[in-house]
Amino acid sequence: YMGTPLLTSQGEKIGVLSVMDDEPLREWETGELLIQVFAQRAGAELERLSAAKETEQLQSQLIQIQKMEAIGTLASGLAHDMNNAMGVVRGHLELINEYCAAPNSTAQEQFLKIKESTNSAHQASLQAQDVITQLLDFAKPKSGQKTTFTIQDAVSETISLFSSRSLESSTVNIIDARETYRVRGDKGQLQQVITNMLLNGLAAMPRGGTITVSYFTTYVKNPSFRNLNAKPGIYVQLAISDTGVGIPKEYLGRVFEPFFSTQPQKGGTGLGLSMAYTIVQQHSGWIEVESELGKGSTFTIFLPLAPENLGSEVTTLQEETSDSIILVIDDEPAVLDLTIQFLEQFGYETKGFTRPVEALDWFQANASRVCLAILDLKMPTMDGKECLNKIKEGKKDLDIVILSGEVEHSLQQEVLALGATKFFQKPLEYRLLIDWIDNKLGHEKRPDTRSA
């Protein structure tokens, strides 16, 4: 028999490593040295596993604490909804009492009025029950079980928690995707991420404004520098934009730090964005932020597309080889969506991005399939000129259209000199763009359906 204690790095005893045999141990000194080496390694590994488990438990507790903070922020609006619902119930009960006491009404009249009031009270009670159910479902700790669900459902269910009072003078605008996108993960945790993003946007708009939610998919070739657990493939982009005060540049690199807040006077813990970042990382995704002072911020959540979606998406984004796609890049989701709708109305296949960096990632893997690129000139993270240069590096002979609200003639000449094929002034008459594309790509002239 030979044994030695298992020690932590602080010298604390946590167990014993022993070796036993039914025969006498030979070379005792060598065996003793070996078992001490193994004991040191085993002690360090046990300490690491214990620390990892403790970290996981603390992280789970922090997520729950932050969830309670989010509920506190929503509480006044939810209380307002509950008061309204219960006020309707109470009022109709009082009204029923008055109907029963009315001296001049017939039994039939009383019955009809009472039935109408009970129906109204019942509907109000269902609304109150719905509020309570949603709140309890959001508040309870989740098991961490992963399921497959659509990101659109997660967003709509989360937004339903926000009453009109919570939104106050702000509105939430959802730009519908052309198809549903399925992801796999803990739905409750990802809804907490969405809640944090929405609350963050509302806090940035004290005088009201608009939160825009949009969905895209993109192929990411090298995601490991964003998340070591992320793998190349198709990702869903959930972009949540606000028209708020924006974030100073010096703070952009710190917004996901624990306990850091750009609005400490609001009284929050500063855990919201940190927990959101952690949750998304655990789902093999990441979050990126863009912001401009006085104009607002955009938080974009990247999540791997679930295998259920990959059949059609991979065919669409990777396996096709014909050069039939028009690449459209515009940082304004509404403008991007409108441009894509117009192009698809006239039979063109498109791929749209609001973020030039992600567009270039996709283009790098799919350059042979792109027949034309349409770029907005003014974008916050990378302007159209820089984007044009990078696209030309990947495909020199590609025709590129620049769209801009700038009116200087010198600017038009500059982008044309850089290699742009055509410059269109905003606001754009889209049929002129379609006619130009038809001519450039050798399509027959279409009948003009515009009114005279």
Instruction: State the pTM of this model.
Output: 0.48
Residues near 268 by beta carbon (within 8 Å), at least 6 away in sequence? 69, 261
Give the span between the Cα atoms of 401 and 433, in whole angstroms. 9
Closest to 173 in 3D by CA, of 218, 215, 130, 217 = 215
pLDDT band at residue 398 under the 50/70/90 scheme: very high
Percent of the chain's residues with pLDDT above 70: 72
Which pLDDT value is given to residue 323? 61
Mean pLDDT across 371-396: 89
Please give the residue that has the higher pLDDT: either 337 or 64.
337
**pLDDT reading at 266 higher than 60:** no
Give the span between the Cα atoms of 182 and 233, in whole angstroms. 14
Give the span between the Cα atoms of 425 and 339, in whole angstroms. 14
CB atoms within 10 A of CB 37: 11
**pLDDT reading at 303 higher than 70:** yes
Q: Is the peptide bond before 304 cis (omega within 30 degrees of 0)?
A: no
Residue 323 CB-half CA count within 13 A? 11
Structure tokens at 329: 């890049």
Give the span between the Cα atoms of 64 and 275, in whole angstroms. 10
For the domain covering 147-308, report its CATH number: 3.30.565.10
Mean pLDDT across 219-247: 86
Closest to 317 in 3D by CA, of 362, 371, 353, 285 = 362
Q: What CATH architecture applies to the domain 320-440? A: 3-Layer(aba) Sandwich (3.40)
CB atoms within 10 A of CB 91: 14
Pairing label, strands 325-329, 349-353: parallel
Give the distance from CA 34 to its chain's centroid. 52
**pLDDT reading at 286 higher than 90:** yes
**Contact (CB, 8 A) for 6 and 43:** yes
Domain residue ranges of the chain, discontinuous segments joined by + = 2-65, 73-139, 147-308, 320-440
Give the span between the Cα atoms of 334 and 320, in whole angstroms. 28
**pLDDT reading at 385 higher than 80:** yes
pLDDT band at residue 444 under the 50/70/90 scheme: low
Is the torsion defined by CA of 401, 405, 409, 411 positive or negative?
Answer: negative
pLDDT band at residue 314 under the 50/70/90 scheme: very low
Give the distance from CA 410 to its chain's centroid. 39
CB atoms within 10 A of CB 326: 22
Closest to 67 in 3D by CA, of 156, 164, 168, 142 = 142
Structure tokens at 225: 């520098």
Give the span between the Cα atoms of 231 and 168, in whole angstroms. 41
**Contact (CB, 8 A) for 166 and 211:** no
* Run of H or E residues at 138: helix 107-139
Please give the residue that has the higher pLDDT: either 123 or 320.
123
Closest to 299 in 3D by CA, of 176, 159, 187, 204 = 204
The highest-confidence range among 163-172, 228-237, 288-297, 318-327, by mean pLDDT, is: 288-297
**pLDDT reading at 145 higher than 60:** yes
Structure tokens at 6: 């298992």
